[in-house]
C-alpha cells in the first residue's frame, strides 16, 4: 500500500513537472528573449507541487507515457494559445513598420521585427502583466490541468484562435495601414495631375507623416485594444475547448 502511494506520488510529480515545464517554456511574458531560462525554470518548479497535489488528490494513475504526453500537451496548449494571441500585437507593429518602409523601397522582410513591432510587444506585455492577465492565465492553467481534454487542438479551436489573433492584429494596425494607403494614393494622384512632381519623392514623406499621425491619434484606442487582447490571452482555455 505504501509502495503504491509512493509510486502514485512520483507519477503525479513527474506528470506535473512535464506540464508545468511545457507551460513555462511557451507562455508569453515579455519581449522575445527578454526572460532568462532560469526564470522560466523557476516558474515550472513553482507550479509543479501545485499541479502534483491536484493530480494526487484526483486519484488518477494512468500509464506513465500517456500521462506525460497529455500533461505536456495541456501545458504547451495553454502557453502557445496565449503566445499566439500575444504575437498579434507584435504582428501589428511589424505591419506598421512595413508601411513606414514601403514608400522608401526598403526590404519588408527585414523590418518585420522593427522598432514598432518591439514597442507593441512591450506594450502588450506591460498591459498583460499589469492588469493581472498573467495571473489569471496561470490560475486557469492550474484549474484546467485535469479538466481540459488532450484533444484540445481541434480544427474549430485553431480556426477560432487564428481568427481572434488576426482580428486583433488588424484592429491595432488598421488605422496606420489605412493612412499609408491613403497617402500613397494621394501622392499618385498628385503625380498624375502634375507630371513635373516626382511621385516617389512625394510618397515617402507624405506616407510617413500620415502613418505617424495615425499612430498618435490611434494611441487613444491602443490601451483598450491591448486590454481586450490581454483578456483573450488570459482566457486561453476558453479558446481551446472544441
Looking at residue 225, the DSSP 8-state letter turns out to be H
pLDDT at 16 over 50: yes
Give the model confidence (pLDDT) of 145-156 as tens digits: 766 554 455 667
pLDDT number for residue 14: 83
Q: How confident is the model at residue 112 (pLDDT cuts 50, 70, 90)?
A: very low
Report whether 5 contacts 32 (CB < 8 A).
Answer: no
Residue whose C-alpha is closest to residue 149's, from 79, 74, 78? 74
The DSSP output letter for 109 is: G
Contact 211, 180 (CB under 8 A): yes
Question: DSSP assignment, residue 29?
Answer: -
Higher pLDDT, 131 or 62: 131
Nearest to 235 by CA among 82, 121, 132: 82
Q: Single out the residue of 119, 115, 76 nearest to residue 98, CA to CA.
A: 115
Question: In whole angstroms, what is the distance from residue 141 CA to residue 78 CA?
Answer: 7
Give the model confidence (pLDDT) of 61-96 as tens digits: 566 677 778 788 888 888 888 888 888 888 888 888
CA proximity to 91, closest of 159, 163, 172: 172
Angle (deg, nearest 10), helices 133-144 and 64-101: 150
pLDDT at position 3, please? 45
* Interatomic CA distance for residues 205 and 117, integer angstroms: 21
Virtual CA dihedral for 153, 154, 156, 161, nearest 10 degrees?
Answer: 0
Q: How confident is the model at residue 9 (pLDDT cuts 50, 70, 90)?
A: confident
If we measure between CA atoms, which residue out of 116, 122, 93, 99 comes closest to residue 32?
122
Amino acid at each position: 500500500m505504501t509502495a503504491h502511494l509512493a509510486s502514485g506520488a512520483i507519477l503525479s510529480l513527474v506528470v506535473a513537472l512535464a506540464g508545468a515545464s511545457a507551460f513555462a517554456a511557451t507562455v508569453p511574458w515579455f519581449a522575445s528573449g527578454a526572460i532568462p531560462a532560469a526564470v522560466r525554470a523557476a516558474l515550472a518548479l513553482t507550479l509543479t507541487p501545485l499541479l502534483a497535489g491536484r493530480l494526487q488528490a484526483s486519484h488518477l494513475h494512468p500509464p506513465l507515457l500517456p500521462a506525460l504526453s497529455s500533461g505536456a500537451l495541456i501545458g504547451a496548449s495553454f502557453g502557445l494559445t496565449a503566445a499566439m494571441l500575444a504575437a498579434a500585437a507584435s504582428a501589428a507593429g511589424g505591419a506598421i513598420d512595413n508601411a513606414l518602409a514601403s514608400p522608401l523601397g526598403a526590404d519588408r522582410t527585414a523590418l518585420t521585427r522593427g522598432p514598432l513591432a518591439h514597442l507593441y510587444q512591450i506594450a502588450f506585455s506591460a498591459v498583460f502583466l499589469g492588469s493581472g492577465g498573467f495571473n489569471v492565465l496561470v490560475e486557469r492553467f492550474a484549474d484546467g490541468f485535469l479538466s481540459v481534454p488532450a484533444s484540445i487542438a481541434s480544427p474549430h479551436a485553431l480556426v477560432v484562435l487564428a481568427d481572434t489573433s488576426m482580428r486583433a492584429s488588424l484592429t491595432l494596425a488598421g488605422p496606420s495601414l489605412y493612412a499609408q494607403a491613403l497617402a500613397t494614393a494621394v501622392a499618385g494622384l498628385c503625380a498624375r495631375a502634375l507630371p513635373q512632381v516626382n511621385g516617389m519623392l512625394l510618397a515617402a514623406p507624405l506616407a510617413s507623416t500620415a502613418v505617424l499621425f495615425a499612430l498618435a491619434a490611434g494611441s487613444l484606442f491602443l490601451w483598450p485594444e491591448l486590454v481586450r487582447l490581454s483578456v483573450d490571452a488570459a482566457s486561453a482555455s476558453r479558446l481551446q475547448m472544441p
